[in-house]
Amino acid sequence: MKRFVYLILLIIGLPVVLNYALFSWQAPGVNADENAWLGFFANYVGLISAVCIALYQQHIQRKKDKEDELVQKKKEEDRLKRDNRSYIVLHDFNSNLRLKNVKTHENSRIIETEGYRKLVDSLNTMTGASDAFNTSFLKLSHYGNPEVILDCRVFLQTKTSEGNLGNFKVDIGVFEKGIEIFIPTVPINAHVGDTVEIIEVKVEYSTLSNEKVHYIHSLPEKKDICKIINDGQEEVLYEFQLDESSWIYPNKLQRD
């Protein structure tokens, strides 16, 4: 931009220089009178001005084209991120400890937490079998275009009927599309016969487009919220209030 300013100053100052350098005194070698020189100078300035205007318009157009290109690139990046997002679906699920007679994908799995293993061992010691006893699970699945989500971690806050608080983390890692993951909600400090209340569930994972996603299921606030975390900035994808309801899975349970 400075070059254009200097050029304009040069064009404006040139008549003054010519006047004092050529016409205010008879410079040697000047073969024309003032009118001829002024006519030449007017044509010269007109040509230079036209060239400057054309160059300036070209500069403005190139700048606008570059800005439009950046905007289009940003839109394309945002579209690719949206197309590669996966969303967590979370439900409470009550069943026997080994999910016996429960229909699910062959690669679905139960996460054996410390509290779960302790409960199974206690029941096996007390009764000789644990399959007949039920417990509560968190059932996780995900949907979206990608086949997997990455670096998936689940944080649970629970409370037993005796008032014992439990906080534990489950590292899932790679989470494939189409499978279901069952996380027992029983904490390490629970005892046989205790009821367990879920206070909050937080799921953190990364998408294939390297977006960080936080999904929070808060029972005290009765709220579900899903956020995208990019460079320390949060963007809420969705947020809604939870209403209590009861349901069953008629096609989940197989009959012997």
Whether residue 155 sits in one domain with residue 63:
no
161 is a domain residue = yes
Whether residue 193 sits in one domain with residue 146:
yes
Q: What total number of domains does the chain contain?
A: 2
Rounded Cα distance, 232 and 166, in Å: 29
The order of strands in the sheet holding 196-206 is 165-176, 148-160, 196-206, 212-218, 223-230, 233-241
| Token code pair at residue 198 | 């879920």
Whether residue 72 sits in one domain with residue 6:
yes
| pTM, rounded to two decimals | 0.68
249 is a domain residue = no
pLDDT at 95: 82
Q: pLDDT tens for residues 8-37?
A: 677 666 666 666 565 555 555 555 566 666
Rounded Cα distance, 5 and 107, in Å: 70
256 is a domain residue = no
78 is a domain residue = yes
| Full residue range of the structural domain in which residue 45 is found | 2-82
Rounded Cα distance, 198 and 64, in Å: 54
pLDDT at 227: 92
108 is a domain residue = yes
Rounded Cα distance, 2 and 162, in Å: 76
Whether residue 108 sits in one domain with residue 215:
yes
Whether residue 225 sits in one domain with residue 118:
yes
The residues pairing with 203 across neighbouring beta strands, listed in sequence order, are: 154, 215
Q: Which stretches of the chain drop beneath a pLDDT of 70?
A: 1-5, 7-8, 11-38, 40-41, 128-132, 244-256
Q: pLDDT tens for residues 80-92?
A: 888 888 888 888 8
pLDDT at 225: 92
Whether residue 95 sits in one domain with residue 75:
no
